[in-house]
Each structure stands twice: as structure tokens, then as C-alpha cells.
Amino acid sequence: MNRQPTLAAEGIAKAYTTGKLATAVLDGLSVTLGAGELALVLGPSGSGKSTLLAILSGLLRPDRGRVVALGEDLWRLSRAELERFRLHHTGFVFQGFNLFPALTAVEQVMLPLGYLGLNRRNALVRAMAALEEVGLESRAQLRPLEMSGGEKQRVAIARALAKQPQLVFADEPTSALDSTNGKIVIDSLHRIARRFGATVVCVSHDQRLAAGADRVITIQDGLLLSDRVQSDPPHAGVNRASALPPDRSP
């Protein structure tokens, strides 16, 4: 049974200008992703993978091309509409954890839920469920200084998960971790994709993470080198041809 892709980019190009010098970072890159899928974007430093993640997530406007996420053509939305889309539909996991030193683990996870309009009681229930999902319910009252790097990253994953997003973006989430904790983190992201049907996009330069992904996309110098499906997500059978609705540009 075919299912509609949740995230698709077509002909994405981006260049950065320093003085009179323009450096192309992405050059006509296209990719289509489906629900329940953990896609790992691999590439060396400077390959364009973090720029691609920023464009796919609606944080950075491409110079050319378009991104359709959950049926929305992102770069046709107003700024307010785009911010509302990210708030309600996306979760982010960053390299540096981005945790607040004074807050406990459960308070970190509850924080974005207030912006979604949840009252404190419902936010607490959802936050504890997210911490349990990443195996940290017993660490809920600890602050960042009391946690290991791997635990802090799992709190960051729980914070993203608590929003119940359909799209999760992770930028080098294991770069500060050893191989054991790196595997725990990538396994947590994979479980979120499978259990909750989220589309999870993870960028990294660490080839060891490939074994934990459903799909490995390799880019270099802004170009797509390979796109390898390693395992089919639940209800697999993405109709990639129908990923993007017709472009009605004048």
C-alpha cells in the first residue's frame, strides 16, 4: 500500500557570498522522505549536510528549489505561518544539547509544551512519558551538571519528542559522545521514527551511525552521491513520484 511522502525537496541550491566570492554549498539537490523513516545524511565537513537540514526544516531559505513538508510548500508561507508550522510539527535535536543549567530534565522537556498551550498538569504527563521513552524517567529531577553527555542528549531528544512532532531534525547529535552513547542516541531516534511514525532526518559525519538508519543519504560538495535504502519502515512503499504537488508558480 503506497503512502504519501512527508518531506520532499526539489532542486535545492544554496550559496554563501563573501565579498565578491560566491561559494555554492548545495547545487540542485533533491530528496524525498517518508513517515516512520530514519534517514541519515552523511558527508564530510563542508559537504552541505547541515545547510540541507536547515533548509528542510524551514530555518534557512534556499536560493533555488522548494521544500514540501506535510503538504505545505514551506517557502510560500509567511514568516508567521512558517514559525507556527515549526512549532506544531517539528522537533529539533542539536549537537550542543541546548539545555538550561538551572532546569531539571523534566522541566527542560516541559518547556516547549507551554508554547503549544498545554497546562502544567498535561505538560508534566507528556514530558514524563517522553523521558520514559528514552529511558530517563528515573533521572527526571536531575539538572544538566548531574548528567552524562549521553543522558543530556537523550533529554534533548525527549524534549523534541514531547511535542509529538511529525518531523524530527537532528544536527550531529552524537558528535560529543563516545561510540556507546552514540549508539544509544541513534537507537532512540530510530525508535521514535518507528513507534510514532515520525520522519527523522539526522545529519552526521560519523559513518558508524549508518547501521542504525533505515536510509543513508551521502552528499559531498553540495551534490547527492548516493541514496541507499537499508530497511523499509513500517507500512513501507513510499510513492516517491507523488512527493511534490505540482508547482503552480506563474
Domains, the chain, in order of start with CATH, read 34-60+78-235 (3.40.50.300)
- Predicted confidence (pLDDT) at residue 7 exceeds the cutoff of 70: yes
Residue 17: enclosing H or E segment and its boundaries?
Answer: strand 7-18
Q: Which residues contact 217 (CB under 8 A, 6 or more apart)?
A: 31, 39, 40, 41, 42, 224, 226, 227, 228
CA dist list (Å): 98 to 26, 62, 163, 166: 27, 25, 16, 21
* Rounded Cα gap, residues 233 and 190, in angstroms: 10
* 55 neighbors 219 (Cβ within 8 angstroms): no
* Rounded Cα gap, residues 136 and 69, in angstroms: 31
Mean of pLDDT values over 171-178: 87
Percent helix, strand and coil across the chain, each to the nearest 5: 40, 25, 35
Q: State pLDDT tens for residues 196-217.
A: 999 999 999 888 888 889 999 9
* Cell numbers describing residue 32: 524525498
SS3 168: strand
Q: What is the pLDDT of residue 182?
A: 87
Q: State pLDDT tens for residues 99-133.
A: 999 999 999 999 999 999 999 999 999 999 999 99
Could you tell me if residue 90 is left (phi over 0), alpha (psi between -120 and 50 degrees) or otherwise beta?
beta
Q: What is the pLDDT of residue 239?
A: 37
* Rounded Cα gap, residues 136 and 153, in angstroms: 11
Least confident of 62-66, 176-180, 235-239: 235-239
Residue type, 59: L
Q: What is the pLDDT of residue 237?
A: 39
**Model pTM above 0.85:** yes
* H-assigned helices in 116-178: 120-133, 149-162
